[in-house]
Amino acid sequence: MKNTSNHANDIVHKTVDTANNIVKSVSGEGGLVGKVTDSTADIVKNVSSTGNNVIGKTVDTTTKTFKDTTGKIFKRK
């Protein structure tokens, strides 16, 4: 799940960067539209990264809890 989330995050980042570059190539690099698209791209990428981090931490916590629980239940004497 973490691997899938990482790939999805990378796709979002690349898609946002590509869309941003297209808009800026049409409207111009230094104009207001370019600055707005840069800000919007940063927001979208940060939201995607935050979601990716949350998924990663949830998977890590769940995996640790599962291992701890199964270790206690199936512990050999």
Name the pTM for this structure: 0.71
Other C-beta atoms lying within 10 Å of the C-beta of residue 9: 19
Residue-wise pLDDT for 53-77, tens only, equals: 999 899 888 888 888 887 777 776 5
Do 38 and 20 form a contact (C-beta atoms < 8 A)? yes
Q: How far apart are CA 9 and CA 19, in angstroms?
A: 15
Do 10 and 49 form a contact (C-beta atoms < 8 A)? no
Q: How far apart are CA 28 and CA 35, in angstroms?
A: 10
Domains contained in the chain, number: 1
Residue-wise pLDDT for 22-59, tens only, equals: 998 888 777 888 889 999 999 999 999 999 999 989 98
**64: containing domain:** 2-73
